[in-house]
Amino acid sequence: MKKIILALALAVAAASPSTVQPAAAKESRHAALSGRRLVMSDVLQVTVLNQPELNGSARVEPDGSIALPYTGRLRAAGRTESQLARDVEQALRAAQIVNEPHVLIEVTTFGAQVSILGAVNLPGAYTLDRPQTLTQVLAKAGGLREDSGAAVMVLRRQGKIKLRCDAKSLLRGGVDNIQIENNDEIYVEQGSIFYLYGYVNKPGQYPLNREMSVLQAVAAGGGVAPLGSDWRIEIKRKTSDGVTEVSRVNLEDPVRPDDVIVVNERIF
């Protein structure tokens, strides 16, 4: 008897993941999409329970409608999955095709996208598979680069700026978040930078996101190389009329945006 009970317990344990997990995953998906409204190019799977001949798929057309057998065209854009399912049920009853229809609608391919450009780690186009805020889609793009600037802009289809705010303050929760819509374009401005060349350990381009002295700028580049001189440093800086001026500087002098700092060779 003990062997039989043990065998039954093992069978139940083995069956549990295959039966419980899919149901949990489906509930999780339903919760995530419950507030999402359908948009153009979404592909939908329409299932009429116990009526397999009525099942099928449909794409939301540019005019916002879908075409289904027996019901004709129905408005889909702007409706949620559950709202559209109720509309299909009503249409089936009105056409006297099914007396008490039960319809399920699921998005199989998402048509909503957002473009994220500028000073983010992974710029590109991203699918909006659920309602998402600005901070959530920025996280999709890998977050802000170190050289990101002061502003993030959200542009709607008409090209009108919907939001312009301090990007880092947004991520800290310092300003109100907004809901992102289909075809929004998000642009994160690049911040100020300076360039470091010559006899330094790590020459290159660096972000200037705070007040910085020449000494701090050189330290950001790994310090002066063995053959370099911290007393022979020059800055190439453009004036307002576009002329580049070269001047010797001290370690305490401030660095300005787009400065080119050159550490010269030591004189023996």
pTM: 0.60
**Whole-angstrom Cα distance, residue 258 to residue 255?**
9
pLDDT at position 116 over 50: yes
Among 44-53, 95-104, 130-139, the least confident range? 130-139
pLDDT tens string 39-95: 888 999 999 999 999 999 999 998 999 998 888 899 999 999 999 999 999 999 999
Highest mean pLDDT out of 6-10, 19-23, 48-52, 130-134: 48-52
Q: Which fold has domain 2-109?
A: wza like fold (3.30.1950)
Q: Is there a shared CATH topology between the 2-109 domain and the 193-265 domain?
A: no
More confident of the two residues 129 and 90: 90
Q: Which fold has domain 113-190?
A: Outer membrane lipoprotein wza fold like (3.10.560)
pLDDT tens string 19-39: 334 545 444 455 455 678 898
**Whole-angstrom Cα distance, residue 197 to residue 224?**
10
**127 alpha-carbon distance from chain centroid:** 9
pLDDT at 209: 78
- What tokens does 210 get? 């705070």
pLDDT at 71: 86
Q: CB within 8 A of 88, min separation 6: which ones?
A: 46, 48, 68, 71, 74, 101, 103, 105
- Structurally, at CATH architecture level, domain 193-265 sits in Roll (3.10)
Domain spans, the chain:
2-109, 113-190, 193-265
Q: Which of 50, 86, 52 is nearest to 69 (CA)?
A: 52
- Compute how many other C-beta atoms are within 10 angstroms of the C-beta atom of residue 43: 15
